[in-house]
Structure 1
Amino acid sequence: MKIDVSDVKANLTYKNYEDDLFEAKGSLEEEIPMLQEEYSRFFELFNLHMIGVGMPDDDEFFTQLESFLNDTMIVNLKEQVDLRINKNELEQEFIEAFKHYRYYFPNKVVPDIYTCVNGLNQSIVLADSLIGVSLDKYLGADFDYYPRLGIPAYKIRNMHQQKIVSDAMYFWATTEYPINLKASKVIESMIYQGSMYYFVEAMQPELNDTLKIGFTEKQLEFCQNSEANMWNYMAENNLLFSTNRMDIKRYVDDGPYVSVFSTESPGRVGAWLGWQIVRSYMKNNPEVTLKQLMENQDYLYILNQSGYQPD
């Protein structure tokens, strides 16, 4: 999976909207037209959909935006972002990931990356050729706002800077390559999710598996040690071909753990197993490109050709 991308040009636009917005704080009416021109689509996305203050031609826009920027929590979040997030490092990580993207998908558009502080709303927001990253959702597992807001511990564990790029690449992949709408079986969701993590792996080959999928070292170890048992359990209990939405939720979606596999298991064990199936498929079919994998919506074909057999 490791490739030389030193000569690949990412051509990435990366901007920290929160810095420019807070700098404009004292003279919004004067500065907003320039911000609107510079940030264009993201400006609209941020104001309309992320913080809900409307647009400059709305009567209450400036009052509401000023109120947002002077809110004690928002001011504190911006201070914490400046303190806890290494923005230059983050930009370099994005450039490196999108160099890999350019290598594998030379004809695809590289999205613009915009960071922001949005008051702990969505972590990653996607629009046409654009990724918005809410840095205030990645301030570290020790950031005291998160538990006070009732965010579950299993989610807080992944709210730190090292998860930003892998989250962004994962969500970008899901918009570029959405799941086959006819896919209704647990195994199909497993393999689809597996291909998304395989994509993240291709974009960030140096990243530890724990960060690609968001497991702790112990959870990853549990999965590796229990792989055959988990796979056999799902096969023997006819779960793999179940079309019950609750089964997909239980085994593939995020959660604190999967109760039938013990509290030591992570949520999303089905997605992790799907990732191992996709890895096996790509290993046993070296002629298949990443592009072909991502475009293949016949998940049962991938399973059948994977030669996957955990022991």
Structure 2
Amino acid sequence: MKRHQTLFLLLVLLCVVGIGSWMLRPWDALEKKWGARQQEVVIDRYDRVLDEYVSLNSYTALGRMNTQYPMETKLLIEDVLKLGPVNDPNAEQRLRHYYLDSTVQVLLDEVHRQYGDMSDIEADFSRVFEELKQKDPDFRVPHVYTQVSCLNQSIVVGDTLIGISLDKYLGADFPLYADFYTQEQRAQMNREFIVRDAINAYMQFLGN
């Protein structure tokens, strides 16, 4: 029953999403009704840790990937990039060589340029999750992180986990997209669609 209630609430939230904006009540109204905010999302920049490992061959960054981000690393290597088992002795070097490709480096550079600040997206996630928590106290707020998927999956979801592939949201006019996607597909590959896509994917996951 709780799962169905949560799915219904997520569906309602998706229905009130406007193109490029969330038609939810402002924070002042929420705080007046419910008091101080209970949930503020801070997006975990896993993409930066990965880039540090790739660009500097940093064993410190690699250690963080394996200890601080084991599930994120496993999903990236095994499910997104399909580079084989994460426990393969050569998995990390295969991963690094993959990201050193010149095309992937273009994606990484553009992600750095466009997503130095994600406070607007964090605020959108916070609003949605706050609504859900207030209506269903048993709703478990997922951990949200970012990655660069080399134009593979846009959103990765798991048990209380949402991964955002920032390289899939560089704007409809990003030159590299024209080689791989139709005009209709490119129209959806903008910053303002990140939260919508993430919530939709997580809703589908909860329904499984």
TM-score range relative to shorter protein: 0.7 to 0.9
Structure with higher Rg: it is 1
After TM superposition, the structure 1 stretch with the greater mean CA deviation from structure 2, 67-76 or 86-95, is 86-95
8 Å contact from structure 1 (residues 8, 103) kept in 2: no
2:169 is matched with which residue?
138
1:299 is matched with which residue?
none
2:150 is matched with which residue?
119
8 Å contact from structure 1 (residues 29, 62) kept in 2: no
Structure with the greater relative contact order (CA < 8 A, sep ≥ 6): 1 or 2?
2
TM-score by length of 2: 0.76
1:41 is matched with which residue?
71
**What percent identity do the matched residue pairs reach?**
26
1:91 is matched with which residue?
122
CA deviation after TM superposition for structure 1 residue 53, in Å: 2.8
TM-score by length of 1: 0.53
Gaps of at least 5 residues in structure 2 are 1-15, 17-23
Matched, 1:108 2:139: yes
Cα pair distance change 1:84/1:13, threshold 3 Å: closer
Amino acid at match of 1:5: L
RMSD between aligned alpha carbons? 2.0
2:88 pairs with one of 23, 33, 58: 58
CA deviation string 1:167-223 (max 9, x = no partner): 111121222235xxxxxxxxxxxxxxxxxxxxxxxxxxxxxxxxxxxxxxxxxxxxx
CA deviation after TM superposition for structure 1 residue 92, in Å: 2.3
Aligned pairs (5 A) from 1:247-286? none
CA deviation string 1:72-125 (max 9, x = no partner): 111110111121234232222222222222222221111111111010001111
1:82 is matched with which residue?
112
Aligned length: 177
Amino acid at match of 1:71: D
Aligned pairs (5 A) from 1:144-223? 144-149=175-180, 151-177=181-207
Gaps of at least 5 residues in structure 1 are 179-311
Cα pair distance change 1:40/1:47, threshold 3 Å: same
CA deviation string 1:115-161 (max 9, x = no partner): 11010001111111101110100100101111211x12111101000
Amino acid at match of 1:135: L
- Report the 3-state secondary structure (helix = DSSP H, G, I; strand = E; otherwise coil) of the residue aligned with 1:62: helix
2:45 pairs with one of 3, 9, 16: 16
| Whole-angstrom CA distance in 2 between matches of 1:148 and 1:95 | 35
- Report the 3-state secondary structure (helix = DSSP H, G, I; strand = E; otherwise coil) of the residue aligned with 2:30: coil
